[in-house]
Structure 1
Amino acid sequence: MARVISVHRQRDHQFSKSPEQQITLIAGEGVQGDAHRGQTVKHRSRVARDPDQPNLRQVHLLHEELLDELRTQSFRIHPGDIGENILTRDLALLDLPEGTLLRIGEQAKLRITGLRNPCRQLNDFAPGLTDAVLARGPQGELVRKAGVMAVVENGGVVKAGDAISTELPENGKPLEPV
């Protein structure tokens, strides 16, 4: 069964996020008390281009299986280190189509908007990490493994151990970076 392993937030614009007992999701905005919360984009590079664009990156979800993979490559990496708000287990996040709804815990509902595009800050955290979260698919296409981004459809409290269920869209498209 898909579940939440840990939750994180960070008030300031820092790369890593601090572990929390629980986080509160706010509909249309993101994680209460997190620097990326808001209806319009909060990532600094995107704000510089257009501060009025909608925030499609309110919540970052990452699969714990990626951390397992990175540890086999000798990376010392822990939950929250690469900026995720919600760390999951037993959920193939990267295989879900755009628009998938994730129901977490008793009330929270997220809609997946796209892939996290790995940035240079990964290498600042650990040299070689950017390359480690990228791969090539069967046709040579770039595969981004650094998790998915979502918007909050329905708010609620999320904590470790919460179950996650999925509702696939009728005509879901493959995920693209957002």
Structure 2
Amino acid sequence: MDGRVTAVSSNGVYSFTKPNRESVTLVAGFGVEGDVHGGATVKHRFRMAKDPSQPNLRQVHLIHGELFDELRAAGFEVAAGQLGENVTTRGIDLLGLPTGARLLLGDEAVVEVTGLRNPCAQIDGFKKGLLKEVVGRGSDGRPRFRSGIMGVVVAGGVVRPGDSVRVGLPGGPHRALEVV
């Protein structure tokens, strides 16, 4: 399973969207250099209010660019970085990866997948009705989150649009992604 990085984004201040960059530097155990969500401990404000000492399992947010195609077909124009992701990809079924999968981004950077991003109400503040598009229901009636995955950086490196994305699967049995 191989794909490509189509955009990289970061922001040094809390904001729903993140501007696109020519490159981002991933730092092992930290996340995206200069990004407000980087750090060994949790940096998302909601989670910090509960327990600021918990480990940051959300150092890097990745979204599959195919989601933007689906949203466009549903009447929503959303571009890379506008949902707060750091890395936008194509050609990889990010939501189908198991916990612990490793993504080699470019030549050096490695991100270990920790789980699903749970979209929040801020998405509707960005574009009314968008939350319903990124949270569906599975055949079992349970919520199905489609707004990307989260991971931690296990090997640092520079990541740019056009870089390859290669997937390394963990030994089995595989665990389905859950919200982190």
Q: TM-score range by the shorter chain?
A: over 0.9
Q: Which residue of 2 aligns with 1:117?
A: 118
How far 1:50 sits from its partner (Å)? Answer: 0.2
Q: Which residue of 1 aligns with 2:23?
A: 22
Q: Pairwise mapping of residues 7-86 of structure 1 onto structure 2 (< 5 A)?
A: 7-86=8-87
Does structure 1 conserve the Cα–Cα contact (< 8 Å) formed by 2:68 and 2:77?
Answer: no
Deviations 1:33-52 (A, max 9, x none): 10000000000000000000
How far 1:172 sits from its partner (Å)? Answer: 2.1
- Runs of at least 4 residues of structure 1 off by over 6 A? none
Deviations 1:144-168 (A, max 9, x none): 0000000000000000011111111
Q: Distance in 1 between matches of 2:19 and 2:99?
A: 28
Deviations 1:108-134 (A, max 9, x none): 000000000010110110001111101
Q: Which residue of 1 aligns with 2:132?
A: 131
TM-score (normalizing by structure 2) = 0.97
Q: Distance in 1 between matches of 2:19 and 2:101?
A: 27
Q: Distance in 2 between matches of 1:43 and 1:150?
A: 14
Does structure 2 conserve the Cα–Cα contact (< 8 Å) formed by 1:100 and 1:172?
Answer: no
Q: Distance in 1 between matches of 2:77 and 2:3?
A: 25
Q: Which residue of 1 aligns with 2:90?
A: 89
How far 1:137 sits from its partner (Å)? Answer: 1.4
Q: Distance in 1 between matches of 2:22 and 2:157?
A: 14
**Identical-residue share of aligned pairs (%):** 48
TM-score (normalizing by structure 1) = 0.98
How far 1:77 sits from its partner (Å)? Answer: 1.1
Q: Distance in 1 between matches of 2:124 and 2:75?
A: 14
Kindly tell me the number of residue pairs found equivalent between the two proteins: 178
Q: Which residue of 2 aligns with 1:160?
A: 161
Q: Distance in 2 between matches of 1:176 and 1:121?
A: 21
1:57 maps to amino acid: R
